[in-house]
Amino acid sequence: MENLTIRPYTPTDQEALLQLLQLNTPRYFAPEEEPDFLQYLQHETEEYFVLERQGRVVGCGGVNFSEDGQTGKISWDILHPDFQGQGLGRALLTYRIARLLEVHQVTHITVRTSQVVYRFYEKNGFQLVEVVKDYWAPGFDLYRMEYVDKI
């Protein structure tokens, strides 16, 4: 895609990413998830990426690893509402899947999402394996999915 950059997250991105989260609340995220996202950015990122289009921060998403390193976890995908449906989310997801496939000990890729966006992951090679009602917050169920496309 033209003028699209995926780069590593730096702490100076935090405010812009919080704004992205707020723009997607309450449609995709519950308000009570904001402190969790902040905690993640400050203490739990392993590899986190910022998506820019024409120099503007329009999305973000990361990967984390299980303790044994065999499971790669897609984490905290957020895309500016004005840029949804244009293939940017798929580009960011594809980038991270490719990154995880480069890590030789990774044998599984998972994502934990909600009923609001699980079909996006389904279209991109993930299969639903578990649903937990009201997991993230009331009305936001956990949809645990595994990548089955090419591993």
User: Residue 73 to residues 26, 110, 145: CA-CA distances in angstroms?
Assistant: 24, 5, 10
Q: What is the pLDDT of residues 52-111, one digit of tens each?
A: 999 999 999 999 999 999 999 999 999 999 999 999 999 999 999 999 999 889 999 999
Q: Nearest Cα to 42, choosing from 19, 79, 74, 15?
A: 15
Integer Cα distance of 49 and 141 in angstroms: 25
Identify the structural domains of the chain with CATH numbers, from first to last.
Answer: 4-147 (3.40.630.30)
Q: What is the pLDDT of residues 5-61, one digit of tens each?
A: 999 999 999 999 999 999 999 999 999 999 999 999 999 999 999 999 999 999 999
Task: Quote the pLDDT of residue 150.
Answer: 59
